[in-house]
Amino acid sequence: MGARLKTGLWVRAVIRRISSDGTSAMVLKKGDEDAGAVLIVLRDREDNIAVLRENGSDWVRANVQKSGLEEYLERQRRYDPDLWLIELEVRTVETPLERTLGSRRADLDVMH
């Protein structure tokens, strides 16, 4: 497995990039600066939600219903105390934002 960018650095860069187009982004829980995992909650103006989680070098949508969001997030925090939780307010949760997030694996982001 290749080197991974430090989580805190990656989170700040993603929030800066996402915020530059007017999307609201905030850290709900700060995790381990070096190696914490990341969960991203997408919320749209109609209060629909989607949760993105890392799956290796990809981002996938977790199967979480709005009614079970807080329970899911609490379970994840208990399982991984180093976890980062980020919330993004997006136009619609159906937009495949996970395709634009990039990977924390440094070797995947290098152009050949």
- pLDDT per position as a tens digit, 29-55: 999 998 888 999 999 989 899 999 988
Calpha distance 56→89 (Å, rounded): 25
Based on DSSP, count helices (H) and strands (E) in the chain, helices before strands: 2, 5
- pLDDT per position as a tens digit, 4-22: 788 899 899 889 988 887 8
- Coil/strand/helix, residue 6: coil
Q: Compute the C-alpha angle 26/53/38, nearest 5°.
A: 50
